Amino acid sequence: MPSERPKVEDLITLHQAADIAGYTDQHSLSQAIRRGSLKGVRIRNARPWFTTRAWLEDYIAHRPTNARHEAERLRRKAERRHGE
């Protein structure tokens, strides 16, 4: 993880980040931090992770293409089901 430290007032909880990103829970964001694909920090070794809107937006913009394709595939499948 880079040594870049955001201002405390810029930090958001993973719960807040999940709401912003449209996730149902923060677990996938926590995993993304552990994988290194989403920047995150812990304050004084506290248990919860924090991120910033900027880091979250960067993560969303650069998610693996296969995740986008899978989401699109599921959306089309749901549309076909509802269209029948």
> What is the SS3 assignment for 11?
strand
CA torsion angle for 26, 28, 31, 35 (degrees, to 10)? Answer: -130
Residue 21 lies in a domain: yes
Q: Looking at residue 37, which CATH number applies to its domain?
A: 1.10.10
Residue 16 lies in a domain: yes
Is the pLDDT at 1 greater than 50? The verdict is no
**pLDDT tens-place string over residues 23-59:** 888 888 999 999 999 999 998 877 889 999 999 999 9
Tell me the average pLDDT of the chain. Answer: 83
Residue 3 lies in a domain: no
Residue 75 lies in a domain: yes
Residue 70 lies in a domain: yes
Q: How many domains is the chain partitioned into structurally?
A: 1
What's residue 2's pLDDT? Answer: 47
Residue 2 lies in a domain: no
Residue 19 lies in a domain: yes
Domain assignment of residue 25, given as a range: 8-83
